[in-house]
Amino acid sequence: MAILQLENGTKYTEVDDITRELSQLNIQLKYWTVGDNPQIHQLLAKDSLTEPEKEQILQSLDNYFLELKQTAGYQSRDLIVLHPETPNLDNLLSKFNSCHYHTDDEVRYIIAGEGVFGFILPDTSQAELTVEAEEFINVPANTEHWFHLTPAKRVKVVRYFTGTDGWVPVYTGKDIKFDRILGCVT
């Protein structure tokens, strides 16, 4: 279940409350099941996946991709698998753990594990949203945000693209007020 923490310490765990709080940024948060296929669940429990295993998972979830293709023009998708033994994990994540935006929507579907999106709100306060398995998030283009993993450092996420050019981070230089280790505002 998603958890939203505001800079003032307020926490929300109910989807309606989170949706209301993030509506000012037009962020979409939805629950999408991965289904009950035991073979897919076995794959999701593994740390690493081969390319054919990734494709098997993607194909099992393509009903969501087809919906996004028809309703929003998405053209491709991929599956990212991160865990503590991922080579150069900290270096890979360092591209996204500073405040930035993209010129295209950032659309992710967490299918296992969890990650944290942080946001600059219109009043310049900040919030962090922990997104967990079976949650879909759409961060609109030009929304200032950052991303990091929780201490477990495990996530499997499907990313959806209309193209790839818009996913280059444009850094804003704003300070992040959340302590990533303690999960609180500094």
Residue 106 annotated as binding site: yes
Question: Is the Cα dihedral 72, 142, 177, 173 positive or negative?
Answer: positive
Burial group, residue 33, by CB count within 10 angstroms (0-12, 13-18, 19+): exposed
Residue 55 annotated as binding site: no
Residue 102 annotated as binding site: yes
Alpha-carbon distance 144 to 168, whole Å? 13
CA 141 to chain centre: 14
Residue 100 annotated as binding site: yes
Which residues are bridge partners to 114 per DSSP?
A: 132
Backbone φ and ψ for 15, nearest 5 degrees, come out as -55, -40
Question: Measured in Å, how far apart are the chain's first and last C-alpha atoms?
Answer: 25
Residue 108 tokens read as 């992710």
Alpha-carbon distance 97 to 25, whole Å? 19
Alpha-carbon distance 47 to 44, whole Å? 8
For the annotated binding site, the residues are 100, 102, 106, 145
- Residues placed in the known binding site for Ni(2+): 100, 102, 106, 145
Binding site per annotation, positions for Fe(2+): 100, 102, 106, 145
